[in-house]
Amino acid sequence: MTEGVFGRESGHEQVVFCHDAATGLKAIIAIYSTALGPALGGTRFYPYASESDALDDVLALSKGMAYKNALAGLDLGGGKAVIIGDPATDKSEALLRAYGRFVQSLGGRYITACDVGTYVADMDQVARESRFVTGRSPEDGGAGDSSVLTAFGVFQGMRASADHLWGTPDLAGRRVGVSGVGKVGHILVEHLVEAGAQVVIADVSAPAIERVRATHPGVEVAEHPDTLLAAELDVFAPCALGGVLDDETVPRLRAKVVCGAANNQLAHPGIEKQLEERDILFAPDYLVNAGGVIQVSDELHGFDFARAKRKATALFDTTKAVFALAEAEGVPPVTAADRLAERRMSEVSRLRSILTV
Ligand SMILES: NC(=O)c1ccc[n+]([C@@H]2O[C@H](COP(=O)([O-])OP(=O)(O)OC[C@H]3O[C@@H](n4cnc5c(N)ncnc54)[C@H](O)[C@@H]3O)[C@@H](O)[C@H]2O)c1
């Protein structure tokens, strides 16, 4: 069972348990921080083995969102929600609307969005009961598919990594391996091909590979994701599952840079040091994949793609700032990214002590 929900180990502001027996809704909303504004983060619909597992997950995910939103320069804190159940069988209009009423009851302290197991159509249902919803369908004023700016942000992070390492953001001629060409990966490939990079892809799904090959026949295909991980590359871009960098895989990497969309790429604390010892520049995942949250959060101001894209472009400068801080303070980039996020949360929230009218 999770220790210290009320203690320093957790550090969360508020954790809300939501139950509606009639619809079968069992949800937990965790607000890690509202230091920078309302806590934004998606709702995960997942068949957790236990309520304790669900609590652990939502506590970790909401903290991650606070750091991601802070680094992305958003005026938003971090939160996340989980609905316990099988999205394929337990999801209903009534359950989603019951959940929406709990979101509404928090008065805007928490703003929700899509995550694993929830989709744009679900957010449209939640939005029938709450004003505090993003990730709705474009017809409903929503931002649509967040993969578009997620991929664009990863591309900016990769350009910043190249600039830091090779003195130019130009990726022309660089050999880049994209592992996982799903919603984000395949758009990243588009940016890379346009930039003149030599792209190699891998995926466990043959249709996903075919979709890329149909539009870009020049893209190489690795035999297997595992082959790609150890291939001669300039940049390795994990765009599938988390935990891809571990004690077994890091020694086999030959790329100079790791920069991709997958969440939680480091399997456990300490891997960032192993990457550093091997002179591999790691662009923190929660920094470079923030384009998606930038895209959906723009809905709060009336969605404007051009404005959201401008904000995602700034991930280039933020990534460079993280690498510069890492060098200045002699720490790995993930530690520098954490420090930058913590500084922003503390400096900006302090301003609230200045009374305004
Ligand atoms: N979609 C977003 O806006 C967004 C935002 C932030 C982070 N992310 C993260 O980026 C990653 C990709 O997201 P997505 O939306 O493109 O998901 P997706 O499900 O559309 O694509 C994932 C792809 O990876 C492939 N895959 C699965 N296992 C693999 C393996 N072992 N090796 C190689 N490929 C494998 C799948 O076949 C699929 O094509 C996830 O980790 C997600 O959490 C996505």
- Residue 6's pLDDT is 58
- Same domain as 269, residue 124: no
- Annotation says 80 is catalytic: yes
Q: Is 227 part of any domain?
A: yes
- Same domain as 216, residue 331: yes
Tens of pLDDT along 190-233? 999 999 999 999 999 999 999 999 999 999 999 999 999 999 99
Kindly name the residue from 26, 63, 80, 311 that is annotated as catalytic.
Answer: 80
CATH code, domain carrying 180: 3.40.50.720
Report d(CA 136, CA 180) in Å as an integer: 25
181 CA → ligand 1 middle, Å: 7
Q: Does ligand 1 come within 6 angstroms of the Cβ of 125?
A: no
Tens of pLDDT along 83-110? 999 999 999 999 999 999 999 999 999 9
Segment 4-31 shows an average pLDDT of 88
Question: By alpha-carbon position, which residue is closest to atom 15 of ligand 1?
Answer: 183
Report d(CA 248, CA 223) in Å as an integer: 19
- Same domain as 242, residue 294: yes
- Same domain as 280, residue 132: no
Last residue of a domain, one of 140, 163, 189: 140
Q: Does ligand 1 come within 6 angstroms of the Cβ of 221?
A: no
CATH code, domain carrying 82: 3.40.50.10860
- Same domain as 151, residue 133: no
154 CA → ligand 1 middle, Å: 13
- Looking at per-residue pLDDT, the higher value among 351 and 177 belongs to 177
Tens of pLDDT along 227-244? 999 999 999 999 998 899
Q: Does ligand 1 come within 6 angstroms of the Cβ of 179?
A: yes
Last residue of a domain, one of 140, 169, 187: 140
286 CA → ligand 1 middle, Å: 14
Q: Is 69 part of any domain?
A: no
- Same domain as 103, residue 163: no
- Same domain as 248, residue 318: yes
Q: Is 2 part of any domain?
A: no
Exposed, middle or buried, 41 (CB in 10 Å: 0-12/13-18/19+)?
A: buried
- Same domain as 230, residue 105: no
Question: Which atom of ligand 1 is least distant from the CA of 295?
Answer: 3
- Same domain as 324, residue 205: yes
Q: Which domain holds residue 300?
A: 147-343
Tens of pLDDT along 308-347? 999 999 999 999 999 999 999 999 999 999 999 999 999 9
Q: What percent of the chain has pLDDT over 70?
A: 97
Question: By alpha-carbon position, which residue is closest to atom 25 of ligand 1?
Answer: 180
Here the tokens at position 200 are 């190699």
Counting the structural domains of the chain, the total is 2
pLDDT for 300 beyond 60: yes
Last residue of a domain, one of 85, 111, 140: 140
- Same domain as 116, residue 176: no
- Same domain as 155, residue 132: no
- Same domain as 116, residue 151: no
**pLDDT tier at 356, thresholds 50, 70, 90:** confident
Q: Is 56 part of any domain?
A: yes
Tens of pLDDT along 52-92? 999 999 999 999 999 999 999 999 999 999 999 999 999 99
Q: Does ligand 1 come within 6 angstroms of the Cβ of 10?
A: no
**pLDDT tier at 1, thresholds 50, 70, 90:** very low
